[in-house]
Structure 1
Amino acid sequence: MDVEQLRVTVYRIFAGTGRAPSAEDLMRELDAPRSQVDEGLRALAAARHLALDARGSITMAHPFSAVPLGFSVMGATTLWWGGCAWDSFALPHLLDDADPALVATRCPACDTPHVWDVTRQTPPPGDQVAHFLVPAAHMWDDVVHTCGHQRIFCSQPCVDAWLKRTGNAPGYVLDLPTLWRLASRWYEGRLDHGYIRREPAAAADYLRSVGLTGPFWGT
């Protein structure tokens, strides 16, 4: 099986339907046996193109998520789970159907609802802040945990209250314009054939270009 064709098929089904394709979906789309589909998915997971659960089903194919992690993203015709703040703000930049997108969440500290119209043109207005708990070097240690802890809060006091309640150490706080810049070009080309994930040096260059530096980011 052509693993690159499998990757593109996974992403395009996720983009078009808002849900992760099952092994049966992929077998039908690619006219391939289950053994080849499963082997291809494991290869893509090893290369960090997607994350699988214990049964081998697709959990995440960034910026798409098969499970709710605190965000919903509504486009013109499709509704997606937003895997995290980063991925939710990235979808409008990746998908024509999601420009603009209505991104919704609740503050993890006080449960206040928040919603933004996110577009490719300018960051959405708002004084809210995003808090990323897991440093960049360890984001793939448990990527679902990582994404579940990239959340948007009402303000720094809400971040502080949540950290105190949960016993977590402080991570990194971003304002909405910085979050929007981070998300804007991170996934460029991911739906196309020949996409290559950024190597560490290129990733560090990108992070610096959007204003993210220091030990948390490895830059």
Structure 2
Amino acid sequence: MADNGSAQSAADRTEQVRLAVYTRFASDGRAPRPAELATDVGRTPAEVRQEFRRLHASRDVVLDPHDGDRILMAHPFSAIPLGFSVMGARTLWWGGCAWDSFAIPHLVPAEPEVLVATACPGCGAALAWTVGRAAPPAGEGVAHFRTPVADAWPDVVRTCANQRLFCSTGCVAALVARDGGTRGYVMDLATLWRLARGWYAGRLDRGYVRREPASAAAYFADAGLRGPFWGLPTDGGA
């Protein structure tokens, strides 16, 4: 039987690397490689690589399937462009998706307000909103999510790439008609802001624990989301 002290020490080592990854992403806007992160945590690059694999398995990071040294995403941060830029006063990030782009100012203490910029996938128009903590941004834009939450993780990069912001529901319809895909879930900016504001709370703190399904469902309902797309009963919604 494993010694409880050893098991706790292993968990602590993984948490140390997780926190270092997120801290680097928050401050630098990019993902650290094992060699540079090893200096931060006092471990060897090989040990950091092992922790990367554990964090990928626990869905705390997303590794490049072709390069295990490369973190693609550590939500809400992204190391790859997926349609958004998020500009704070000190840092510029790639926004992994509409959800994550709106979440960054709620998570990073030093950046209470950011400029989220993208292009409408329906018509190509440039779109930008100032997103802060006090209230949703004004505007007529909508967010369109294509993949139901229960199916998000098998190809999470593709899922995130299809959580986009549009000028209007008309532009969503134009894209769906053009590419022959299915319409997903459409929400207004206020609902997106509520979804984003507390979802990642605590992720920059030691001891963060991901939400269990029941807690996630309650959070989605409180944000104003409805229906089986979110694993919730249907009583209105998109």
The answer, yes or no, to whether TM exceeds 0.5 is: yes
Deviation at 1:158, TM superposition (A): 0.5
Matches within 5 A, 1:194-213: 194-213=207-226
| SS of 1:131 mapped into structure 2 | strand
AA at the equivalent of 2:63? L
1:26 correspondence with 2:52: no
C-alpha distance in structure 1 between counterparts of 2:226 and 2:34, whole Å: 40
Q: 2:54 matched to 1:43?
A: yes
- Residues 38-187 of structure 1: matches in 2 within 5 Å? 38-54=49-65, 55-56=67-68, 57-187=70-200
Code of the aligned partner of 2:140 = D
Name the Cα RMSD after superposition. Answer: 0.8
Residue 26 of structure 1, CA deviation: 1.1
Q: Which structure: larger Rg?
A: 2
Asked whether the equivalents of residues 84 and 149 of structure 1 are also in contact (C-alpha less than 8 Å), the reply is yes
Post-superposition shift, 1:142?
0.5
Identity, % of aligned pairs? 56
Count the aligned residue pairs.
219
The normalised TM-score by structure 1 is 0.98
SS of 2:15's partner is helix
1:96 Cα deviation (Å)?
2.5
Aligned counterpart, 2:4: none
Q: Is the 8 A contact 1:89 1:179 kept in 2?
A: yes
Between stretches 197-206 and 22-31, larger displacement belongs to: 22-31
Q: Which moved more, 1:95-104 or 1:130-139?
A: 95-104
- Alpha-carbon distance in 2 for matches of 1:110, 1:25: 41
Task: Give, in whole Å, the separation in 1 of the partners of 2:93 and 2:201.
Answer: 18
Moved over 4 A (4+): none
Shift of 1:212: 0.8
1:12 to 4, 18, 23: 23
Gap runs ≥5 in structure 2: 1-9, 233-238
- TM-score normalised to the size of structure 2? 0.90
